Structure 1
Amino acid sequence: MGNKNSRLKHKKSTIKKIPEFDQIESEQERQDKLLDYYLSTDINSIDRLHMYHFLKRYLFRGNFSSPIEDELIKGGSKVLDIGCGPGTWLLDLANKYENSYFFGVDFKPIFPREIKPNNLEFIEADVTDALSFHDNEFDFTHIEHMSLVLTSDQWDVVIPELVSLLIYCTYIFYGVTKPGGYIEVSDRRNSYVGEGPIFRKMSDALWASCSKRNIDTNLIYNLDSKFELQPNIGKIHRIEKDLIIGPNGGKIGLIFQDLAFSYYISEMAIKNLSEEMGISEEEYKNMTEKDLVEEFKQTSTECVHFRFWAQKQLS
C-alpha cells in the first residue's frame, strides 16, 4: 500500500469459495448461508467495502473521532480493529502511523495475506469467542458496521471483551495527563428519512431478513447505553453525519447510491430480498435497476452515520 516497510509473503490464499445458494439442507444451514452472503468474500463486495471506507473518511473528515492521534504519531500505541473485513481502515492507519502497531480480527479471511505493512497483523478469529490477547493490551479498540452481523446476545459478549482489552496506561503529553485507552463504535442508523415507497419496501425486506438471523435492527439506537453499563467506562461522546442518497445529495450522494445499488443487485440481495418481498427475481431486478434509480431522482432520502467513543478509566 505504499509503506516503505511493506513485505511480501509467498503464501497460497486460503479464501474459501461460497457454495451455491440452493444447496441448503436445513434451517440452520440456511441461516449460516445467509450470514455468508452478508459477509460475502466476492470481489465486488470487497471493492464496495473499500469504497465505503473512503466515503466515511470523507464524511467524518478522518478515520476516527477518538482523541488518540497524538499517541499514534508518538508511536508505541497498539490498535485493534474488530470485524476488520478487508482491512481498509487498518491499512490506511498503519501506513500513516508507522511507529504504532495495528491488529485486525475477522472470522472471514478477506484481509490481505501477502502485501501489508510490518506494523500490521491480521488474525482469523471469531470475535464472539474469547480473543487471544492479554487483558488491558490496547490503546485504541475499534469496531465498525457490525449492527447487522452480531445478535443482541453476541453484543453482550463482545462489549465486555472490548472493554477488558483496552490498556491501562498514563501518558504525559503537553503537560496533560491522559489516562486510559479509547473504544470507538462506528455504524449507521438502520432506518432512513424521506425515502420513497420503493426504497422503503426494499429496506423493510432487508430488516425482516436480518430479524430471521436474530438480529435486533433497533439495537443500534441504544448500543451506547450498553457501553455505559460497563465498569470503568467514562463519558460517551457521539457524533452524527448525514447524507442524501442519490443526485440530490451531490457527489457523495451519488457515490452512496452506487454503493447501495452494488449491494441491492448482488446475488445475495436478488435471491434473498426478492423472496422476502414475494416477487420474482426478474421483477426485483427491474424494480432496482429502473424504478429505484428514478425514485432517487425525486426524493431526498437521508442516511445517518454515527460514531460514539469513550475512554476506559483507571480503576
Structure 2
Amino acid sequence: MDADNDIDIDATDVPEDFKLVNRRQFMASGNTKYMLPIDIEERNRSDYQHYVLRLLEKLMPLILLTTMATDSYILHGNFNAPIEENLAGGIKVLEVGCGSGIWTLEMARDYPASTFVGCDIANVLPTTDISDNCTFINANTLEGLPFPDGTFDYCYQRFMVGNI
C-alpha cells in the first residue's frame, strides 16, 4: 500500500495504452502532447477545477458590479459566449478535450434540446449515466476531428493550453 496516497498500484493493473510513472498513470503513446496523468486522482482534480469555475459563476454578479459591464460573458457558468438561446432551441455542440466529460454531461442535462459530443485523446470517457443527447468519442484532435466540416454549431474547449 502506498503510504502517501493510500493506493496500491501494480504495473499489471495499468491498461496497455498507458504507462506508470511515479505511481501515476500516463498515456503511453509517443504521438501526444498531453502531459498530465490519466488516472482517478487527475480526474478528481479536473472535476474540482470545473466546480470551482462553476462557483465563480455565483460570485460573478458581485464582481461585475464593481469591475466590468453586466453583459459580460466572462465566467458565465459553463460557457463564455452569447449562445444560451441557441442551446435552448437545439444545436450541435462539440467539446474538444473533454477529459472526465463533466462539462459535456452537465450541458446535455441543462440543454436537452441540443446534442453534445465530448471528444478526448484518452480513452477514459464516461460510459454510464449518459443522457440520450450526449455521446463521447476517443480521438486525437491533433490528427483531425472525425467529423465533416460544419457538423457542429458550437465548439468548446477549456484547459487545453500546452496540449495542442
For residue 68 of structure 1, what is the aligned residue in structure 2? 83
Q: Is the 8 A contact 1:87 1:112 kept in 2?
A: yes
Judged with a 3 Å threshold, the aligned counterparts in structure 2 of structure 1 residues 30 and 128 are, in CA distance, closer, same or farther, namely: closer
1:108 aligns with 2:105: no
TM-score when scaled to structure 2?
0.69
Cα distance in structure 2, aligned partners of 1:126 and 1:33: 9
Alignment of 1:178-197 (within 5 A): none
TM-score when scaled to structure 1?
0.37
Judged with a 3 Å threshold, the aligned counterparts in structure 2 of structure 1 residues 32 and 112 are, in CA distance, closer, same or farther, namely: same
CA deviation vs aligned residue, 1:184-208 (integer Å, no higher than 9, x gap): xxxxxxxxxxxxxxxxxxxxxxxxx
Judged with a 3 Å threshold, the aligned counterparts in structure 2 of structure 1 residues 136 and 53 are, in CA distance, closer, same or farther, namely: same
How far 1:61 moved relative to its partner? 4.1
User: Residue 111 of structure 1 aligns to a residue in which SS?
Assistant: coil
Q: Structure 2 residue aligned with 1:56, among 53, 56, 59?
A: 53
Q: Tell me which protein shows more helix as a share of its residues.
A: 1
Cα distance in structure 2, aligned partners of 1:87 and 1:98: 16
CA deviation vs aligned residue, 1:149-198 (integer Å, no higher than 9, x gap): 12xxxxxxxxxxxxxxxxxxxxxxxxxxxxxxxxxxxxxxxxxxxxxxxx
CA deviation vs aligned residue, 1:92-130 (integer Å, no higher than 9, x gap): 100000110000111102220232111011010000112
Q: Output the aligned Cα RMSD.
A: 2.7
For residue 258 of structure 1, what is the aligned residue in structure 2? none
Cα distance in structure 1, aligned partners of 2:110 and 2:82: 16
For residue 142 of structure 2, what is the aligned residue in structure 1? 128
CA deviation vs aligned residue, 1:213-266 (integer Å, no higher than 9, x gap): xxxxxxxxxxxxxxxxxxxxxxxxxxxxxxxxxxxxxxxxxxxxxxxxxxxxxx
For residue 21 of structure 1, what is the aligned residue in structure 2? 21
CA radius of gyration, larger in: 1
User: Residue 143 of structure 2 aligns to a residue in which SS?
Assistant: coil
Cα distance in structure 2, aligned partners of 1:33 and 1:44: 23
Aligned positions, number: 128
Q: Is the 8 A contact 1:107 1:124 kept in 2?
A: yes
Structure 1 runs of 4+ with >2 Å offset: 15-22, 29-36
How far 1:21 moved relative to its partner? 2.7
Judged with a 3 Å threshold, the aligned counterparts in structure 2 of structure 1 residues 130 and 51 are, in CA distance, closer, same or farther, namely: same
Judged with a 3 Å threshold, the aligned counterparts in structure 2 of structure 1 residues 34 and 137 are, in CA distance, closer, same or farther, namely: closer
Q: Is the 8 A contact 1:21 1:33 kept in 2?
A: no
Equivalent AA in structure 1 for residue 97 of structure 2: G
User: Residue 46 of structure 2 aligns to a residue in which SS?
Assistant: helix
